[in-house]
Chain A
């Protein structure tokens, strides 16, 4: 068990809808990362937060947004969903922003858009 908790585990929704994915990092970790995993794109970095502040942005669509709250949990909001957004979404956390600390991953949220 990595200590990173993601809810829900599965989400099935229709095109055009909006969903929120939630992540609780490991106790003591200040950095949160979001990744998308799909068969055709592999593991894609979306966004990173550190202690409530956005620090790095990857291939995140404008329809997607995220935030990290004062209690350090994070939410990823996906709106105007399309079939192509179906994927496994992972949250990861690390202690800080140093180069050496590994990321610890949650078990992911599997999103299916129908």
Chain B
């Protein structure tokens, strides 16, 4: 089965500093990777995805992610953090070889990002 791991429960960063939220994956075959953000009492919002091609993927709200095949990682980055970026971030992998022909996203445990003034 496909899986992702987020090794940090929480990341603290000062506003204006670069941020990184880590994710590693374990898949058979090519990985299809996604990042989502969840604000309090809201659903998950799609940020970006890696399918194939460039290892640096750009997404919404100034976020980008770096795919590294040798390290099986897909870290989320932003050059300059904002207080409004404080939220819960989830890495996910597409698991599409399911019995019955279906598919799903398998999510990591989430990383709480706190950006302070």
Which residues in A have some Cβ–Cβ distance to B below 8 Å?
Answer: 2, 4, 33, 42-43, 45, 48, 50, 54-58, 90, 92, 97, 99-100, 102-108
8 A-B residue pairs with Cβ-Cβ distance under 8 Å, sorted by A, are A42-B109, A43-B107, A45-B106, A55-B100, A92-B43, A99-B103, A100-B94, A103-B46
Number of interface residues of B (CB under 8 A): 26
Chain B interface residues toward A at CB < 8 A: 32, 34, 36, 41-46, 49, 51, 90, 94, 96, 98-107, 109-110
Task: For A42, list chain B residues within 8 Å (CB).
Answer: 107, 109-110
Interface centre among A33, A48, A102, A106 (most CB of B within 10 A): A102
Bound together, the chains give a CA A55 to CA B100 distance in angstroms of 5
Majority secondary structure, A binding face: strand
A42-B110, A107-B41, A108-B43 provided; 12 other pairs, C-beta below 8 A?
A48-B102, A48-B103, A54-B100, A55-B100, A56-B101, A90-B43, A97-B102, A97-B103, A102-B46, A103-B105, A105-B43, A108-B42
